[in-house]
Amino acid sequence: MLRIALLMLFRDRAKYVMLVVGLTFCALLMTQQASVFCGLMLWTTATVRNIGAKVWVFDAKVEQVNEVIPLREIEVTRVRSIPGVEWAVPLYLGIEQARLGDGSFQNVQLTGLDTATFVGRPMEITKGRIEDLRLPDAVIIDQVGVDKFRKKGIKIDIGTTFEINDKRAQVVALCHDNRSFLAQPYVFTTYDRALQYAKPQRKMLSCVLVEPRPGVSAQELADRISTVPGLHAFSRDDLFWTTIWWYIKNTGIPISFGTVVIMGVIVGIAIAGQTFYLFILDNLRYLAALKAMGARMPILAAMVFLQSFSVGFVGFGFGVGFTTIFGYRVLKLEQPPFFMPWQVPVFVALIIMLICCFSAAVGLRQIAKLEPAVVFK
């Protein structure tokens, strides 16, 4: 009878298409919005992923990576003295103003790397050499910067000069890394030079990057460092999730995306539920005939659930497929943010299943109430 159920569904083209379109739209809305949300959250952790150190040490009051409170330089030495630390290097992070040749400005995320080791170096140097960062006024700029300057009519290449806080900077290499939440270009230089570019403050060290000794886990070391007064250390994973949770708790982003996802669920229930209910109502006299002919309720329930889930499966496939195409296109353009972890389609599949269950249950209620004798009326 399951084959019969599918034939009844597929051949009622108008309703089938309506059901699939409704669930496709619902799945598309939920998957796309959830993926953009995940992408946006991922952008907030760009610094963590770009630098990639195993343990990060900040001021004790720091809550996430994009809001640093400067430390004293001496903290690097204090951290190095803690048992389990293999090495520790300083890092400067700050938003500075770059002035271009034509006088226009662009905020940049200035990252000062340890001069000796370049720990936290860009993920991929696309042009030039990292070693050239030791040359006078040398900086490395990422692709976001290249694109932003290009839009302003300035071509950035090796040898291009601009100013950061009125001090000369010369591009010695181009790199590719993860885009930041505010989409500001990353400009890498040495730690010492970064301090020269930055506006002077009493404390200038943003954080200390630490490598644990072999046999010491990052979390274990982070916990140990956090016992030092005035310091708070995070393992990379901890900092990644702490940053994301900070944005979830302290911004309206989840509410706005969550609202759209809920709207997707409502649209799905409204369209799919209503259309499926109408489909059942249209077929009620035939289902009653089947009941009279000896179809038991479990068989009819299986038929209805199969119909509902097959529509859900197709709608889910189309929805996720269209989102994937959308993601493929926007990832090339690098905006809007887009990241679809496996949890997103699984979550959407569960929601679609719930919608299908709801739709089928509403239809089944009608069938359960149906007396087979009504076929004689």
Q: Which residues bind other proteins (CB under 8 A)?
A: 1, 3-4, 7-8, 11-12, 283, 285-286, 288-296, 299, 371-373, 375-377
Tell me which H or E stretch contains 55. strand 55-59
Q: Kindly state the smallest distance separating residue 298's Cβ from other proteins, in Å.
A: 10
Least separation in angstroms between residue 294's CB and other proteins is: 2
To the nearest whole angstrom, how small is the minimum distance from the Cβ of residue 303 to other proteins?
Answer: 11
Choice between 168 and 296, CB closer to other proteins: 296
Q: Using N-to-C axis directions, what is the helix angle for 253-268 and 236-250, rounded to 10°?
A: 70
Report the C-alpha gap between 271 and 315 in whole angstroms: 12
CB burial readout 313-350, b (16+ within 10 A) else e: bbbbbbbbebbbebbeebeeeeeebbbbeeebbeebbe
DSSP 376: G
10 vs 245, beta carbon nearer other proteins: 10
Question: How far apart, in Å, are the Cα atoms of 176 and each of 47, 94, 242?
Answer: 13, 19, 25
CA distances from 331 to 37, 47, 144, 163, 335 (A): 14, 19, 13, 31, 7
- Closest to other proteins by CB, 5 or 187: 5
Using DSSP's 3-state secondary structure scheme, residue 252 falls into: coil
To other proteins, the closest distance from the beta carbon of 23 in angstroms equals 20
Of 342 and 376, which CB lies nearer to other proteins in the complex structure?
A: 376
Query: Closest CB to other proteins among 267 and 374?
Result: 374
> Which CB sits closer to other proteins, 332 or 377?
377
**Shortest Cβ distance from residue 148 to other proteins (Å)?**
58
Q: Residue 83 or 294: which CB sits closer to other proteins? A: 294
CB of 280 to other proteins, least distance (A): 13
Q: Write down the least CB distance from residue 254 to other proteins, Å.
A: 44
Residue 335 DSSP SS3 = coil
- Please, are residues 364 and 276 in contact by the beta-carbon 8 Å criterion? no
Q: Write the DSSP string, 106-161.
A: EEEEEEEEPTTT-TT--SEEEEE-GGGGGSTTEEEEEHHHHHHHHHTT----TT-E
The label of the residue with tokens 């936290």 reads 120
Distance in Å, CB of 360 to other proteins, minimum: 18
Please count the residues of the chain.
377
Nearer residue to other proteins within complex by CB, 74 or 297: 297
